[in-house]
Amino acid sequence: MGKPLVIRDLIAEIPVIQGGMGVGVSLSGLAGNVAKCGGVGIISTAQIGYQEQGFAEHPIETNLKAIGTHIRRAKEISGGGIVGVNIMVATRKYGEYVKAAVAAGADLVISGAGLPTELPALAGESRTKIAPIVSSAKSASVICKLWDRKFHRCPDLLVIEGPKAGGHLGFSREELERLDGEAYEEEIKSILALVRQYSEKYQYHIPVVIAGGIYGGDEMRHALGLGADGVQAATRFVTTFECDASEAYKQAYLAAKKEDIQIVKSPVGMPGRAIRNEFIRRAEEGALDSHWKCYQCLEKCSQKDIPYCITDALINAVKGNLDHGLIFCGADAWRAEKMEHVSEIMEEFRKEFAKI
Ligand SMILES: Cc1cc2nc3c(=O)[nH]c(=O)nc-3n(C[C@H](O)[C@H](O)[C@H](O)COP(=O)(O)O)c2cc1C
């Protein structure tokens, strides 16, 4: 039997974190159920209040309130399991989101899409654990060095997100073409070596989880074999009954073939991975409506320079309005063949883990 994932005083019996998926794909339903099964459930705070009254007029205030609602709901579902949030650094008013999550009792804040340089100060002395997401040894070194120097602390957990992940990716298009599995494993080993230095300095074993292309037990075993303490999986959980996205969104995954999955240029300025559809075709032709209401999602967004609004595109998708939506997914989305319960997937991970 392998070791559980230990993040300070948090112990996940199955070392699986369900990755945060915005907009609205991982809310309390999915996160609560993963936590209930002994993993770590992560709610995405990206436009988390999109279904709530008042969202169109006051998106940020509505989102901040919805953070508390979803954390409470997920905690209830999980019966005391580990529930965290994913807050992208690129979010406008990022600090307010972190403070709202801490105040609502999030067990963990995971932050990527930029380096969370101020996260230790924002979490303060609270019991909420903090974890940066990195994609390279360079960014791991920058964030560890900075937190060490400025806050005299190390991450409670580190997430390494590789090139097979879904949503926005921390790689250039060229890197995505160049990086094969083997080349990225060298990067993972360098990050693990770096983190071990900080573990020694802080006399605390900083757990590291690997994300991107973890679809089941085989990939988990491989990741743990590389020296990781756990895995973060997202795509696999989309085609579950408990996932918070619409039925149509899940069906798009079930219907997708390998060749339908492509890299797109997102208005956020990073490449993203998504299922090719009518929306992407129209975006490529420059045929999308260029007038929209701003939902104040990103710190840096120049409305006149982007082809479409990322919030609109992701909300349309999650609601099932697919022809007008961007369906984010990981490289393995084509592998989904049937709807599953979260408990079945967690059982698959648990069985593999029991053999280690
Ligand atoms: C639909 C979807 C939405 C995502 N949204 C976010 C997000 O809002 N913030 C984030 O940091 N990562 C996001 N991700 C990345 C996941 O959290 C996760 O790290 C990654 O997808 C893991 O790879 P996998 O999907 O192959 O398991 C998203 C992934 C997917 C599939």
DSSP 10-37: EEESS-EEEPP-TTTTSSHHHHHHHHHT
pLDDT of residue 124: 97
Cα 350 to ligand 1 centroid, rounded to whole Å:
22
Instruction: Output the CA angle 66-71-77, nearest 5 degrees.
Output: 125
Cα 150 to ligand 1 centroid, rounded to whole Å:
29
Same domain, 191 and 287: no
Ligand 1 atom at minimal distance to the Cα of residue 44: 8
Same domain, 268 and 212: no
Domain that holds residue 237: 5-245+336-355
Same domain, 271 and 174: no
pLDDT of residue 2: 84
Q: Give the number of residues written for the chain.
A: 356
Instruction: For the beta carbon of residue 218, count every other beta carbon within 10 angstroms.
Output: 11
Cα 59 to ligand 1 centroid, rounded to whole Å:
22
Cα 201 to ligand 1 centroid, rounded to whole Å:
31
Intervals of the chain under pLDDT 70: none
Same domain, 58 and 204: yes
For residue 262, the cross-strand partners are 274
Same domain, 204 and 347: yes
C-alpha–C-alpha distance, residues 237 and 239, integer Å: 6
Ligand 1 atom at minimal distance to the Cα of residue 211: 22
Longest dimension (CA), the chain: 56
C-alpha–C-alpha distance, residues 88 and 236, integer Å: 21
Please check whether residue 123 is in contact with residue 102, taking contact to mean a CB–CB distance below 8 angstroms. yes
pLDDT of residue 287: 84
Model pTM above 0.85: yes
Cα 167 to ligand 1 centroid, rounded to whole Å:
5
- Who's near 155: CB < 8 A, 6+ residues apart? 130, 131, 132, 143, 144, 147, 198, 206
Mutate to test the pocket of ligand 1, among 21, 30, 237, 318 (most ligand atoms within 8 A of CB): 21
Residue 207: closest CA among 41, 31, 9, 1: 9
Same domain, 203 and 71: yes
Cα 2 to ligand 1 centroid, rounded to whole Å:
25
Question: End-to-end alpha-carbon separation of the chain, Å?
Answer: 5
Residue nearest to atom 6 of ligand 1 (CA): 21
pLDDT of residue 171: 94
Same domain, 295 and 178: no
Same domain, 293 and 150: no
Same domain, 256 and 212: no
Element (H, E) at 160: strand 158-161
Please check whether residue 320 is in contact with residue 247, taking contact to mean a CB–CB distance below 8 angstroms. yes
Q: For residue range 126-150, what is the model confidence (pLDDT) as tens digits? A: 999 999 999 999 999 999 999 999 9
Residue nearest to atom 30 of ligand 1 (CA): 166
C-alpha–C-alpha distance, residues 127 and 101, integer Å: 12
**Count of domains forming the chain:** 2
Same domain, 237 and 256: no
pLDDT of residue 7: 98
Mutate to test the pocket of ligand 1, among 45, 209, 210, 235 (most ligand atoms within 8 A of CB): 235
Cα 21 to ligand 1 centroid, rounded to whole Å:
5
Same domain, 284 and 203: no
Ligand 1 pocket at CB < 6 A: 19-22, 25, 44, 46, 86, 88, 112-113, 133, 161, 164-167, 211-214, 232-235, 328-330, 332
Mean pLDDT of the chain: 95
Instruction: For the beta carbon of residue 338, count every other beta carbon within 10 angstroms.
Output: 7
For residue 6, the cross-strand partners are 11
Same domain, 113 and 197: yes
Q: Where residue 112 sits, what CATH number does that domain have?
A: 3.20.20.70
- Who's near 308: CB < 8 A, 6+ residues apart? 267, 283, 288, 289, 290, 292
